[in-house]
Chain A
Amino acid sequence: MAGQASAPPEESMYQQFTPHRAGLPNLVEYFKLVWRRREFATEMSKSRVRGSHDNTVFGTAWLLIDPMLQSTIYFVMITFIRGHSSSGPTPGHTFAHLTSALFAFRLCQNALSTGAKSVTGAGKVLLNTNFPRLLIPLSAVRTGFTRFLPTIPLYLLIHLLVGEKWHVTMIGGIFFLGCLLVFGMGLSALAATLTVYFRDFANFLPYIMRLWMYLSPVLWLPSQIKGKPPAVQSLMEGNPMYTMLGGYSQLLQNGHVPALHVWVTAAFWAIASVVVGFLFFISREREFAVRVL
């Protein structure tokens, strides 16, 4: 009889499951577990990338072609259809801004749309395995980030092509990019939870994202809303993307360091999104096993 000899060390295996306070487990323990299982999220994300052949030559090419096509369409729209004002930025500058902001916005968009379906698509793993479910939307964000990465060199190339120069301050853009990533994590967790309760949430998502993009400084520059009614201005500035995308594109294009409040507000939005999104997700996580399948 194999018996006791094969039993693993007891001390390390002792587990205690206690009720969640206000629906939340011990968050320190929870995030320790998340960290310990990070390889699972990484591998899940990698497998998603492999599964969609994003890591092949043509797959990567598509990751570049798709945002470029989108940028071109929007560029045509805002320059030729809407009309280009002579007092505004040059077409080259507009295109550089459009690409930088659109690529960054797509990072969030990807994270949100992949994350929304991640939990409901996880299948029986939810039923038979005990792991922090937060890893599932986080892996979706990682996937979104992986798909975003090839667009960074693409933008740097465009930046040169339109006659701009690289600046040292462009490195500051990493902060805003980080904010966008963290913001996307919170949104992804939120969307994943909402999708469990309303399965058609993912169907609404494209409309929400498009509207959000029009309200964000993607197709327009932050400087262009000056002179608008105060109500419109405050609405635009209240948009989390305003500071994050605005600061990001400002740093990348002009090398201008944004004002301090832009940095702080961007960080605030990122943290707020993560706190709200993660807590909502974790508090509802125990119901996933009984609701998803």
Chain B
Amino acid sequence: MKDNVDTMLQVMSKKVLIVEDNELNMKLFHDLLEAHGYETLQTREGLKALDLAREHKPDLILMDIQLPEVSGLEVTKWIKDDEDLSKIPVVAVTAFAMKGDEERIRKGGCEAYLSKPITVTSFIETVRKFLD
């Protein structure tokens, strides 16, 4: 019984770390995830993202690529190099949408790639694919 509740709680409170430097886009992703029952952690800096990931062990990371100091690809590399974190799927959500960008980003260790502007349906579908 207790186990069941625990599993349910776990399902209910899947944590998504959003790394995004644009406030409005952060809000959009946060609202979308919240509406679908996910818990979010937010940061606009790559270095903080690593700390948050270590501290909270999120179930999914949404990673913007162009970030103020360290690039999202760099952060992804650190995460994938870290034994504790490498299992966490990283979905790149980026405005780098030229041909070749997706390939480059996937090679950088991201499990999935979403180009901005996103469509609500494909965004939620992608997130669900990793969390459900």
* Chain B associates with chain A: no
B contacts, CB < 8 Å to A: none
Interface positions of A (Cβ within 8 A of B): none
